[in-house]
Amino acid sequence: MKKEFAILVVAVIIFGVIASGCIGGETSTTQTQKPATSSAQSTSETTNVVIYGYGSEMITLDPSTEFSNSIVVLANVYECLVKYTPEGLKPWLATSWESNENGTVWTFHLRKGVKFHTGNEMTAEDVKWSIERTIRMGLGPAFIWDPVKKIEIVDEYTIKFYLKYPANLPLIASSAYGAYIMDSKYLSKLGDDNAIADWLNKGHDAGTGPYMIDKYDPKTEVILKKFPEYWGGWSDDQFDVAIIKIVPDASLREQMVVSGEIQITRDLPLDDIPKLKENPNVVVDQTPSYQELYAFFNTKKPPLDNKLVRQALSYAVPYQDIVQYVLHGYGEVAKGPIPKGMFGYFEDLPTYHYDLNKAKELLAKAGYPNGGFKLVLTYTQGDEAEAKVAEIIKAEWKKLGIEVEIRPMNWEQQWALAKSDPAKAQDIFMMYWWPTYPTPYDFLFNMFHCEEEINFNLCYYCNSEFDKLIDEAVTLEGTQPEKAAELYKKAEKILIEDAPAIFLYYPDDVYVYHKSIKGFKDNPGYPQVVFFYELHKA
Amino acid sequence: MKFREYVAYRLVLAIFVIIGVVTLVFFVSRVIPSDPAALYVGAHPTPEAIEKAREQLHLNDPLIKQYAYYLWSLLHGDLGISIRTHNPVVQDLKSAFTATFELILVAEFIAILIGIPLGVYSAVKKDSWLDNLSRLFAISGVSLPAFWFGIVLQLIFFKHLQLLPLAGRVDTVVLLQHPLKVITGFYLIDSLITGNIPVFIDALKHIILPAITLAMYPIGLITRQVRSMMIEVLQENYIRTAWAYGIPPRRIYFKYALKNAIAPALITIGLSFAYTLVGAFLVELIFNWPGLGRYAAYSILSMDYPAVLGVTIVAATAYVFINLIVDIVQVYLDPRIKL
């Protein structure tokens, strides 16, 4: 008994010493300065850190296959040939580009004197290798390069793409997913594609971007350090170190940005935004995103296979109230299937508005004067906004004698049910869409084009006239944008007339940043990305 | 049954329990309709990409084959690939485990430091206002929800007093200025060994609130256990004799009485380790502590079942072995227990 007690006491004491830190009293507290490496931090420069509080974990770091959150890292470390901005395409690694008459051959002129983090110079060879690797691996976003038949190196700084069919290649080359240029000389030495992927996923990089990956822990933080030889150059008030800190809890992120523990964050609870606007320490930045919320009707199952019923229900949605109540005004009522600010969005599309009388009239016409049917609506569990929208719709349609059963499901289950037999599937499916790269075709093709096998056309809509219009429009996007827009508009009008889905709203991207930084500008073409190079100390 | 036989018997039993847990969780997680392959590929996947992922994750094999494959990998210490992070689960768990273990140890330390003296004083001053107060404290510790308590602490110490950090394990900027050489994976110990005082202080500041939150439950347990054992012991004849001899009270309480009262409390302390492992799940979420609990919560939410299985195995193993050790110690200490 004595012995055990003694052991316990000793253990407690040892642990106590460790935890209370009384050992530390003896050691000298002088800072051991690390020898200065190329971008070593001295203590005086530590204010030179910017931290982005981000809600999700990183997935993979392979630019060829990454199709998820890690673009918040990749877009700072790698660069594309072209940069998308809402004002139009801008040079990035390519300084200019041109195409032949019908948009099947594209030539890009590359920026000279661009260095990779490895020290090698970027040439046409790297561009060809990077894109060919992405196509070869065929994973994630590789489909964006589908039009490409052949890539030809003209000289060190000129590269030619031959396409199977006309396409807007500069826009594709600006994609936030699958369009990054890597150092082929360095990577090809590492082995096959999988060996390269393994090396990259360990937290290495081979990009040209302003920042290099210094430490990669996909669950807690990613530390980026500035690349001193970046072709864009550096000024004194930019940040030497940029950190992406993973903090899944939104209220924690809010506290952190207010206290200055992190400098920028997003996806905070919308109820708190008005309070944050009052706070002198932070700035609330609100810009339209390229996202849209849809509710797809099951067009293969009665009663929603009847166009009149779909139109009636489209009139029975209080769009304005939804934006007010669900988004607290941080968003806009959708005008058709394409988000505002994108090519293919038209202010003057004839869209549905809230009109219960009109809805009743149409229902009577369709043979359901008192409603009298039941619909199953599925949405993604945990999405507060979708849950609220579902409740509002349920309450409104009750006035028409229609009962809605709301089923929150986890995304994989929701999607699996939708991909099973449409005759047994849900009646209404709620989902957000955002583009792989900002083309209306990404929206219209994925969600409304006839599908052999169900993937994302979750209203099971199939209209050959509509398909023909968008298939033609996409080939003209690069060379004849006015003509393309005209065709898109026709297609969207058909869609609105047929009402295969309710176009609900465009949510805003709401970033909140601390007053100690300036220069932030949201770019909806690169969702959730903060371009650290654009930030400056305030 | 000899002592050694008993230990061997219990070990074999423990292995069966763990296999049982693995089997149960494996099949339960597979019958839930979901498509891990779709999750693995990420947003807006093409059917081809999903099929590729299916092959990669062996999802096209019959369930029994998948199960056999999983057990076989498990024997080699391979827990598969996380669907969410694409990392080997073992690698994810390693870093998470040390974070959780450090938190639990500090919490237990706090619990022992507060629980034992509080229990002793409660027993000595039985039915006084001090006793009632400490019992109230102990009952609150056991019954107040940890998440609520944690948030209250954050409100007081971070928001109003601005004394302690809100969340996380160590401040990134401090870590940048004073890079920490990782030896054990315990920040407090590593920073001490390497003489990295700024990181030590910062890590200590970060651990205080989550550790106190986590300690509340074991404090309640230990206090109550020590108190009731002390009350029992203080009525024993030999204590009365000691009083009669005029031995100083302090010595009677802490030397004669506590010595005999502490043995059952040791068992409680051992078991409370297992409880704190459970409590860590909530506490880690509130304090954004990069440990097993947070990892498990996000794995469950995103149906990442290799990760869920991995956490389950680690937690079950820890739980079973803590119980095993406690039982063995009990048998060893108390000859009255018949094997």
Which residues lie closer than 8 Å to A114 by C-beta, 6 or more apart? A93, A121, A122, A208, A231
Cα A369 to Cα A67: distance, rounded to the nearest angstrom:
47
Yes or no, beta carbons of B173 and A49 under 8 Å apart: yes
Question: Who wins on pLDDT, B33 or A151?
Answer: A151
- Tokens coding B255: 């030397």
The tens digit of pLDDT for each residue in B267-318 reads: 888 888 878 888 888 899 889 898 888 888 888 877 788 888 888 888 888 8
Whole-number Å distance between alpha carbons of B150 and B286:
7
- pLDDT tens digits along A22-59: 333 333 322 333 333 333 333 334 558 999 999 888 87
Q: How confident is the model at residue B339 (pLDDT cuts 50, 70, 90)?
A: low
Task: Report the phi/psi class of residue A390: left, alpha or beta, with left for phi > 0 and alpha for psi in -120 to 50.
Answer: alpha
A222 & A258 share domain: yes
Write the CA distances from A46 to A224, A337, B170, integer angstroms.
14, 47, 16
B313 part of contact set with chain A, CB < 8 Å: no
Task: Enter the tokens of residue A457.
Answer: 């056309």
Tell me the C-alpha distance between A197 and B172, whole Å.
Answer: 27
- Residue B258 above 60 pLDDT? yes
Binding-face residues of B in 273-302 toward A, CB within 8 A? 285-286, 288, 290, 294-295, 298, 301
pLDDT, one tens digit per residue, over A215-250 is 998 888 999 999 999 999 999 999 999 999 998 888
Kindly report the number of other CB atoms within 10 A of residue A165's CB atom: 13
CB burial of B300-311 (b: ≥16 within 10 Å; e: otherwise) equals eebbbbbbbbbb
Are A400 and A266 found together in one domain? no
Question: d(Cα A28, Cα A207) in Å, to the nearest integer?
Answer: 41
pLDDT at position B162 is 82
Task: Report the residue count for chain B.
Answer: 339
Give the pLDDT confidence score for residue A195 in this predicted structure. 92
- Is there a single domain that holds both residue A133 and residue A191? yes
Gap between the Cα atoms of A202 and A215, Å rounded:
10
DSSP A427-438: SEEEEEE--SSS
Residue A7 lies in a domain: no
Residues 63-82 in A contacting B (C-alpha not used; CB under 8 Å): 66-68
- Phi–psi pair at B163, nearest 5 degrees: -95, -40
State how far the Cα of B114 lies from the Cα of B227, in Å rounded to an integer.
13
* B 176-235 → A contacts, CB under 8 A: 176-179, 188-189, 192, 195, 197, 200-201, 204
H or E element in which residue A496 lies: helix A481-498
> Are A372 and A520 contained in the same domain?
no
**What is the distance in angstroms between the Cα of B33 and the nearest Cα belonging to chain A?**
6
Q: Where are the alpha helices (DSSP H) in chain B?
A: 3-31, 36-41, 47-56, 63-75, 89-124, 129-143, 146-153, 172-177, 187-193, 197-234, 237-245, 249-251, 258-286, 292-301, 305-333
Cβ neighbours for A124, distance < 8 A, ≥ 6 positions apart:
A110, A153, A154, A155, A156, A157, A158, A159
Does residue A270 sit in the same domain as residue A327? no
Do residues A512 and A285 make contact, with C-beta atoms less than 8 angstroms apart? yes
SS3 A274: helix
| Distance from C-alpha of B47 to C-alpha of B54, rounded to nearest angstrom | 10
Q: How remote is the C-alpha of A117 from its chain's centroid?
A: 26
- Give the whole-angstrom CA distance, residue A23 versus residue A13: 12
For A198, B75, B81, B299, the CA distances from B84, given in Å and listed in that order, are 16, 23, 9, 8
Does residue A36 form part of some domain?
no
The answer to whether the bond into A303 is cis (omega within 30° of 0) is yes
Q: How far apart are CA B139 and CA B150, in angstroms?
A: 17
User: Are both A301 and A218 inside the same structural domain?
Assistant: no
For residue A452, the chain B residue with the least C-alpha distance is B47
Task: Give residue for tokens 């026709």.
Answer: A490
Place of tokens 């024993």: B236
Q: B127 and chain A: CB distance < 8 Å anywhere?
A: no
Bigger pLDDT: B167 vs A268 = A268
What pLDDT, on a 0 to 100 scale, did the predictor assign at position A130?
Answer: 97
pLDDT digits (tens, 9 = 90+) for B175-210: 777 888 888 888 888 888 888 888 999 999 999 999
Q: Does the pLDDT at position A480 exceed 50?
A: yes
Q: How far is the C-alpha of A261 from the C-alpha of B167, rounded, in Å?
A: 10
Helix (H, G, I), strand (E, B) or coil at B198: helix
A265 lies in a domain?
Answer: yes
Q: What is the pLDDT of residue B335?
A: 65
The answer to whether residue A1 is domain-embedded is no
With beta carbons less than 8 A apart as the criterion, state whether A526 and A71 touch.
yes
- Summarised one tens digit per residue, pLDDT across range A417-438 is 898 889 999 999 999 999 989 9
Q: What is the pLDDT of residue B33?
A: 65
Question: Inter-chain contact B95–A31, Cβ cutoff 8 Å?
Answer: no
Continuous segment of H or E residues that includes residue A138: none
Domain that holds residue A116: 47-281+515-537
Are residues A306 and A411 located together in one domain of the fold?
yes
Q: To the nearest whole percent, how much of chain A has pLDDT over 70?
A: 91
Closest CA to A303 of A353, A368, A349, A365: A368
Average pLDDT of span A196-219: 92
The confidence score (pLDDT) of residue B322 equals: 83
Task: Grade residue A69 by pLDDT with cuts at 50, 70 and 90.
Answer: confident
Q: Are residues A304 and A276 in the same domain?
A: no
Average pLDDT over all residues of chain B: 85
Are residues A473 and A346 part of one domain? yes
Identify the residue whose tokens are 């609506």: A377
What pLDDT, on the 0 to 100 scale, is given for residue A23?
32
Nearest to A339 by CA among A285, A293, A393, A295: A293
Residue A96 has which token pair? Answer: 């200019």
- A18 belongs to a structural domain: no
Q: Name the domain count of chain A.
A: 2
- Does the pLDDT value for residue B74 go beyond 50? yes
What's the CATH number where A343 sits? Answer: 3.10.105.10
pLDDT, residue A368, reads 94
C-alpha B135: how far from chain center: 24
Across the interface, of A4, A8, A27, the residue whose CB is closest to B197 is A27
| A342: region left, alpha or beta (phi > 0 left; psi from -120 to 50 alpha) | beta
Distance between CA A128 and CA A184 in Å, rounded?
A: 9
Q: Which of residues 51-90 of B touch A (CB under 8 A)?
A: 52, 84-87
Least confident of A20-29, A251-260, A341-350, A474-483: A20-29
Q: Taking Cα atoms as reference points, which of B220, B212, B216, B228 lies closest to residue B122?
A: B228
Q: Give backbone dihedrals phi and psi of A452, rounded to 5 degrees, phi first.
A: -70, -55
DSSP string, B57-117: TTTTS-HHHHHHHHHHHHHTT---B-TTT-SBHHHHHHHHHHHHHHHHHHHHHHHHHHHHH
Tell me whether residue A8 is in a domain: no
Gyration radius of chain A's alpha carbons? 27
Which residue type is seen at A111?
Answer: R
Question: Which of B168, B200, B266 faces A21 most closely, judged by CB atoms?
Answer: B200
Quick one: which H or E segment has residue A95?
Answer: strand A94-99
* Nearest neighbour of A68 by CB, restricted to B32, B43, B200: B43
Check whether residue A194 and residue A169 sit in a common domain.
yes
In-domain check, residue A30: no
Q: Are residues A81 and A198 in the same domain?
A: yes
Please, which residues bridge with residue A88 across strands? A85
Question: Is 60 exceeded by the pLDDT of residue A19?
Answer: no
Of A11-20, A162-171, A434-443, minimum mean pLDDT range: A11-20
Based on the domain organization, do A477 and A351 belong to the same domain?
A: yes
Length of chain A: 538
- With CA atoms as reference, the chain A residue closest to B290 would be A220
Residues β-bridged to residue A245: A53, A221
Beta carbons of A236 and A36 less than 8 angstroms apart:
no
Q: Indicate the pLDDT class of residue B168, thresholds 50, 70 and 90.
A: confident
Check which CATH number belongs to the domain holding A253 and give it.
3.40.190.10
Determine which helix (DSSP H) or strand (DSSP E) holds A536, and give its type and residue range: strand A536-537
In chain B the domains, ranked by start, together with CATH numbers, are: 3-76 (no CATH), 90-333 (1.10.3720.10)
Judge whether A161 lies within some domain.
yes
Residue A224, C-beta contacts closer than 8 angstroms, at least 6 positions apart = A73, A76, A77, A211, A212, A213, A214, A241, A242, A243, A244, A532
- Average pLDDT score over residue span A133-154: 92
- DSSP secondary-structure letter at A462? -
Cβ <8 Å between A41 and B42? no
- Helix locations, A191-272, DSSP H: 193-201, 250-259
Q: Which residues of A touch B185 (CB under 8 A)?
A: none
Q: Which residues, in sequence order, are CB contacts of B31 under 8 Å at separation 6+?
A: none
Q: How far is B53 from chain A (nearest CA, A)?
A: 9
Does residue A106 contact residue A121 with C-beta atoms inside 8 Å?
Answer: no
Strands A282-288 and A264-266: unpaired
A106: helix, coil or strand?
strand
Q: Could you tell me if A339 and A509 are in contact, meaning their C-beta atoms sit under 8 angstroms apart?
A: no
